């Protein structure tokens, strides 16, 4: 029923737009100049006052009606439900609803059939009621709107304000979602820190949450806080990120220099989008590229030198991740290098500097803050990356800086903590939130730092 | 050192420099210079003698090719892909468009100051030291300091900045920045200095200082300056060349051009009838 009403409202919206437009012209006998606002705004005004109140009512109805119905049904079939536990009551109502509106029913008994009858009749009443309310709102809004359309009416202001309200609503949704996510991270982490002291977590050097429980069977209640040390994960993350930057910084930067200062226009027109396509490859594709092509290659290559290389190595994951972030580095650096004024290049060339001297001594130093921030953004991207490391770096929380060994990262551990059957409030699951919070703090700090560098850079040329 | 070698060579050539009818040596000579930007021709057969130790002013309405011609004199046009230069430009008897010529060396001998002050985002010291460093003109740190100090002195900026040489050049006032750019050009000991509307971004007082400076520099350097201000041309230059629609219309003593122009177009321009 919701969708029926919804589409009716949309149709009304369109019709009201047209009617409001012609009505405004009618009011001034086709003399456009006599209108304060153009006819289109009058159309928008009429459509908004006609439809929006009904739309709000409809949304409220969709949200609250099922609850009200459940309450009524529960109270009217209290005889059948006495003595049922809470989940059983829910199952009862679920089955009754399924009987009434179609769906999969567990088993049928008299009580449920009774409840289903009530549901059916309630639903019909509610639909009719809603239809009437909406019709009233639409009619009221419409007549109010039509009466209000006068030459001097400030329809444009009304429409502009409505548009602004819509924009505010959308940005509020985005902002509150973000705040909500961060808050839930914080609260779940706090629960975790009640079980595991925060210092043990941040400075502990041993990570094996699989062995977190003291005791066995029914007695497995205590939590061993010693096994939640995040340091090995941080070390693994840093190691892989470091390798990635080692790959991405030179390649990305040098290609940015080539693109901005050396490449002829046609080359640039082709090469830049090509590089940016790299950024569009799904990371899971990079992941199996790393796991199936790069890791075995590195192992074979290492073994030919007599080195022991584990089949999942930090090196493989880091190199592939470096390839993944090349486009970030090159495209952002290309932008900042291009932003260095041509007049500085001319000034340098006018003194007899060659192109490469100009780039090394004038352009790069001037662009350096921007380049640094490009690198930092790329780093925070690399730190948050999951798929490649899941597939290529392994799960073992080794605390090592040997790139040929398997390591694990914060993101990988979050995945393994949450995949599979978990009890939601065990320390093991809550640890994922703490790790998420840690990761969030690190990337947030990096981003803030990068933004400040960028800001400083912007002030340099007016 | 490479520069002393250059100076000796220059001295040798000096003796052989061609002279004008009134006996002034000709430092640079443009011979039937044409410039195309892509399909569009910007200069048509320009002949011009740049006299040694003189200030030559290039004047003319906007878009007539003054900057284009100036940029030909140290091959700055090379940096524009679509630009093609024809004809011959001679510096001390050498054709500067000869493939044998090294542009880097040419631009060290023919320096340039731009319309908008464009100090590098480095310290004042580093700005001036930039040229000497890339050309290896200084043997030691004290050599370099010496060069920087004399260049700043010649540009009349030393007194104002001597206590803050390590502050950024971009923090100076517009007029100071332009004099810094002149000091930067002087630091590589050029023989010719090209200036493209060096005062157009400056206030009257800063302009007066730069004009005074140009007059002093004339003693040691040959200067070519583009200007939109007739008064400025009259004040600083000895020779004036009037360009119009890509043609060099008239060249002569500044005094003659302003008081007694031969061509009607020059007459119209300096009396303000177009431009
Ligand atoms: N980079 C370029 N690409 C294409 N055309 C150019 C370029 N630079 C100059 N031109 C053209 O060449 C002609 C001469 O330009 P130029 O800059 O030499 O004029 P100008 O006399 O210096 O003018 P102004 O006094 O405004 O600086 C103009 O028609 C201009 O459009
Ligand atoms: Mg110009």
Look at residue B18 in the predicted model and tell me its pLDDT.
Answer: 83
Structure tokens at A41: 């705004």
Indicate the residue of A264, A354, A461 with minimum beta-carbon distance to B104: A354
Q: CB of A341 within 8 Å of any CB in chain B? A: yes
Q: With an 8 Å Cβ cutoff, are A352 and B184 in contact?
A: no
β-sheet bridge partners, residue B195: B113, B225
pLDDT reading at A8 higher than 90:
yes
- pLDDT tens for B200-216 read 888 888 889 889 989 98
Element containing residue A394 per DSSP (H, E): none
Structure tokens at B255: 């005094």
Q: With an 8 Å Cβ cutoff, are B76 and A350 in contact?
A: yes
Q: CB of B36 within 8 Å of any CB in chain A? A: no
State the smallest CA–CA distance between residue B101 and chain A in angstroms: 13
What average pLDDT does the segment B28-38 reach?
A: 94
CB-based contacts of A384: which residues, under 8 Å, 6+ apart? A411, A439, A443
Average per-residue pLDDT for chain B: 88
pLDDT reading at B11 higher than 50:
no
> Which letter, b or e, does each residue of A36-67 get, where b requires 16 or more Cβ atoms within 10 Å of its Cβ?
ebebebbbbbbbbbbbbbbbebbeebeeebee
Point out the ligand 1 atom lying closest to the alpha carbon of residue B65. 18
Q: CB of A364 within 8 Å of any CB in chain B? A: no
What average pLDDT does the segment B138-153 reach?
A: 92
Q: CB of B71 within 8 Å of any CB in chain A? A: no
State the smallest CA–CA distance between residue B186 and chain A in angstroms: 9
Q: With an 8 Å Cβ cutoff, are B131 and A349 in contact?
A: no
Name the pLDDT band for B47 (thresholds 50, 70, 90): very high
ipTM score assigned to the predicted complex:
0.85
Chosen from A350, A368, A370 to mutate, greatest number of chain B CBs within 10 A: A350
* Residue to mutate (ligand 1; options B65, B115, B200, B243; most atoms within 8 A of CB): B65
Look at residue A214 in the predicted model and tell me its pLDDT.
Answer: 54
State the smallest CA–CA distance between residue B177 and chain A in angstroms: 13
Point out the ligand 1 atom lying closest to the alpha carbon of residue B228. 25
- pLDDT tens for A104-163 read 777 788 888 888 888 889 889 999 999 999 999 999 999 999 999 988 889 999 999 999
* 3-state secondary structure string across chain B: CHHHHHHHHHHHHHHHCCECCCCCEEEEEEEEEEEEECCEEEEEEEEEEEECCCEEEEECCCCCCHHHHHHHHCCHHHHCCCEEEEEEEEECCEECCCCCCCHHHHHHHEEEECCCCCCCCCEHHHHHHHHHHHCCCCCCHHHHHHHHHHHHHHCCCHHHHHHHCCCEHHHCCHHHHHHHHHHHHHCCCCCEEEEECCCCCCCHHHHHHHHHHHHHHCCCCEEEEECCCHHHHHHHCCEEEEEECCEEEEEEEHHHHHHCCCCHHHHHHHCCCCC
Structure tokens at B8: 């000796």
pLDDT reading at B10 higher than 70:
no
Q: CB of A211 within 8 Å of any CB in chain B? A: no
pLDDT reading at A246 higher than 50:
yes
Listed as own residue / partner, the contacts of A9-14 with beta carbons closer than 8 Å and 24 or more positions apart are A9/A51, A9/A54, A9/A55, A9/A58, A9/A134, A9/A138, A12/A47, A12/A50, A12/A51, A12/A138, A13/A47, A13/A50, A13/A51, A14/A47
Q: What does DSSP say about strands B83-91 and B192-196: parallel, antiparallel, or unpaired?
A: unpaired
Look at residue A273 in the predicted model and tell me its pLDDT.
Answer: 87
Residues with CB under 6 A from ligand 1: B 37, 42, 60, 62-68, 80
Query: CA distances (Å), A53 to each of A59, A130, A383, A462, in order?
Result: 10, 13, 47, 49
Name the pLDDT band for A403 (thresholds 50, 70, 90): confident
pTM: 0.73
Structural domains of chain A, with CATH: 2-153 (no CATH), 225-457 (1.10.3720.10)
Task: Quote the distance between the C-alpha of residue B196 and its chain's center.
Answer: 7
Look at residue B174 in the predicted model and tell me its pLDDT.
Answer: 87
Ligand 2 ion: Cβ-proximal residues, 5 Å cutoff = B 67
Residue A96 Rama label (left phi>0; alpha psi -120 to 50; beta): alpha
> Which residues numbered 396-455 in A keep a CB inside 8 Å of some CB on B?
none
φ, ψ for residue B233 (rounded to 5)?
-55, -45
What average pLDDT does the segment B226-247 reach?
A: 93
- pLDDT tens for A420-450 read 666 666 777 888 889 999 999 988 998 888 8
Cα(A182) to ligand 2 centroid in Å equals 56
Q: CB of B135 within 8 Å of any CB in chain A? A: yes
Instruction: Find the ligand nearest to B38 CA.
Output: 1
Which residue of B lies nearest to A360 if distances are taken between CA atoms? Answer: B134
Name the pLDDT band for B5 (thresholds 50, 70, 90): very low
Structural domains of chain B, with CATH: 5-120+190-270 (3.40.50.300)
Look at residue B8 in the predicted model and tell me its pLDDT.
Answer: 38
Q: Please name which of B176, B208, B178 lies closest in space to residue B193, comparing C-alpha atoms.
A: B178
Name the pLDDT band for B107 (thresholds 50, 70, 90): very high
Name the pLDDT band for A202 (thresholds 50, 70, 90): confident
Q: CB of B132 within 8 Å of any CB in chain A? A: no
Cα(B63) to ligand 1 centroid in Å equals 5
Name the pLDDT band for B238 (thresholds 50, 70, 90): very high
State the smallest CA–CA distance between residue B87 and chain A in angstroms: 22
End-to-end Cα, chain A, rounded Å: 59
Look at residue B15 in the predicted model and tell me its pLDDT.
Answer: 55
- pLDDT tens for B67-98 read 999 999 999 998 888 999 999 999 998 899 98
Q: How far apart are CA A2 and CA A278, in angstroms?
A: 43
Q: What does DSSP say about strands B83-91 and B26-37: parallel, antiparallel, or unpaired?
A: antiparallel
Chosen from A261, A352, A354, A361 to mutate, greatest number of chain B CBs within 10 A: A352
What average pLDDT does the segment A291-316 reach?
A: 84
What average pLDDT does the segment A12-29 reach?
A: 92
Look at residue B274 in the predicted model and tell me its pLDDT.
Answer: 64
Name the pLDDT band for B6 (thresholds 50, 70, 90): very low
Q: Please name which of B142, B201, B139, B178 lies closest in space to residue B1, comparing C-alpha atoms.
A: B139
φ, ψ for residue A151 (rounded to 5)?
-55, -40
Name the pLDDT band for B226 (thresholds 50, 70, 90): very high
Indicate the residue of A344, A350, A362 with minimum beta-carbon distance to B107: A350
Q: How far apart are CA B265 and CA B10, in angstroms?
A: 39
> The tokens 């009429």 sit on which residue?
A46
- Helices and strands in chain A, H and E counts: 18, 0
Burial class (CB in 10 A: 0-12, 13-18, 19+), B194: buried
Indicate the residue of B122, B134, B170 with minimum beta-carbon distance to A353: B134
Q: With an 8 Å Cβ cutoff, are B134 and A351 in contact?
A: yes
- Residue A52 sits at the vertex; the CA angle it makes with A50 and A58, to the nearest 5 degrees, is 115
β-sheet bridge partners, residue B86: B34
Asked if B207 and B183 touch (Cβ cutoff 8 Å), the reply is no
Q: With an 8 Å Cβ cutoff, are A352 and B108 in contact?
A: yes
């Amino acid at each position: 029923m919701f969708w029926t009403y919804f589409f009716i409202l949309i149709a009304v919206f369109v019709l009201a737009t047209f009617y409001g437009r012609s009505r405004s012209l009618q009011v001034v006998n086709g003399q456009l100049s006599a209108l304060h606002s153009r006819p289109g705004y009058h159309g928008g005004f009429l459509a908004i006052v006609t439809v929006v109140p009904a739309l709000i009512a409809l949304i409220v109805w969709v949200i609250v009606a099922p609850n009200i119905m459940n309450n009524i049904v529960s109270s009217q079939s209290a005889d059948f439900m006495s003595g049922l536990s809470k989940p059983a009551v829910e199952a009862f109502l679920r089955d009754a609803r399924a009987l009434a509106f179609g769906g999969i029913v567990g088993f049928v008994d008299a009580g449920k059939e009774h409840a289903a009858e009530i549901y059916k009749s309630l639903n019909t009443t509610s639909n009719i009621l809603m239809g009437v309310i909406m019709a009233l709102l639409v009619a009221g809004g419409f007549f109010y709107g039509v009466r209000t359309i006068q030459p001097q009416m400030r329809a444009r202001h009304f429409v502009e304000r409505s548009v602004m309200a819509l924009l505010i609503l959308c940005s509020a949704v985005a902002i509150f979602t973000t705040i909500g996510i961060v808050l839930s991270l914080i609260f779940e982490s706090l629960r975790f820190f009640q079980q595991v002291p925060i210092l043990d977590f941040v400075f502990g050097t041993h990570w094996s949450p699989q062995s977190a429980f003291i005791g066995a069977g029914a007695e497995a209640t205590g939590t061993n806080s010693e096994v939640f040390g995040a340091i090995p994960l941080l070390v693994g993350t840093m190691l892989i990120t470091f390798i990635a930057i080692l790959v991405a910084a030179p390649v990305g930067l040098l290609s940015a220099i080539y693109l901005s200062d050396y490449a002829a226009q046609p080359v640039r027109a082709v090469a830049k989008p090509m590089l940016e396509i790299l950024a569009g490859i799904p990371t899971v594709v990079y992941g199996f590229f790393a796991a199936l092509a790069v890791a075995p290659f590195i192992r074979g290559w290492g073994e030919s030198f007599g080195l022991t290389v584990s089949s999942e190595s930090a090196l493989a994951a880091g190199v592939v991740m470096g390839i993944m972030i090349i486009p970030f580095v090159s495209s952002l650096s290309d932008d900042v290098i291009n932003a260095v004024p041509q007049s500085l290049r001319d000034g340098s060339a006018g003194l007899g500097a060659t192109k490469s001297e100009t780039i090394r001594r004038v352009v790069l130093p001037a662009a350096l803050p921007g380049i640094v921030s490009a690198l930092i953004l790329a780093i925070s991207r690399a730190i948050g990356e999951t798929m490649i490391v899941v597939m290529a770096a392994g799960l073992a929380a080794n605390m090592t800086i040997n790139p040929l060994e398997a390591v694990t990262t914060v993101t990988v551990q979050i995945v393994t903590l949450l995949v599979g059957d978990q009890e939601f409030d065990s320390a093991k699951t809550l640890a994922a939130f703490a790790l998420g919070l840690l990761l969030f703090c690190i990337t947030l700090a990096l981003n803030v730092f990068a933004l400040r560098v960028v800001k400083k850079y912007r002030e340099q040329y007016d | 050192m490479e520069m002393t070698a250059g100076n000796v060579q220059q001295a040798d050539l000096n003796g052989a420099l061609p002279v004008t009818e009134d006996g002034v040596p000709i430092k640079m000579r443009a011979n039937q210079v044409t410039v195309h930007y892509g399909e569009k021709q910007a200069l048509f057969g320009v002949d011009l003698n740049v006299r040694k130790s003189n200030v030559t002013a290039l004047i003319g309405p906007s878009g007539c090719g003054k900057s284009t011609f100036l940029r030909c004199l140290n091959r700055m046009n090379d940096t524009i892909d679509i630009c093609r230069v024809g004809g011959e430009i001679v510096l001390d008897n050498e054709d500067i468009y000869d493939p044998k010529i090294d542009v880097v060396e040419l631009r060290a001998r023919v320096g340039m100051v731009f319309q908008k002050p464009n100090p590098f985002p480095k310290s004042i010291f580093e700005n001036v030291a930039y040229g000497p460093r890339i050309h290896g003109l200084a043997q030691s740190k004290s050599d370099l300091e010496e060069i920087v100090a004399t260049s700043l002195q010649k540009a009349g900026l030393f007194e104002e900045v001597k206590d803050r040489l390590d502050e950024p050049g971009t923090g100076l006032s517009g007029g100071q920045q332009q004099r810094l750019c002149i000091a930067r050009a002087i630091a590589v000991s050029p023989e010719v200095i090209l200036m493209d509307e060096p005062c157009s971004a400056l206030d009257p007082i800063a302009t007066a200082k730069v004009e005074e400076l140009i007059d002093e520099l004339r003693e040691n350097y040959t200067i070519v300056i583009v200007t939109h201000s007739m008064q400025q041309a009259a004040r600083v230059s000895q020779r004036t060349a009037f360009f119009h629609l890509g043609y060099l219309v008239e060249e002569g003593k500044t005094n003659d051009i302003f008081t007694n122009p031969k061509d009607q177009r020059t007459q119209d321009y300096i009396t303000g009838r177009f431009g």
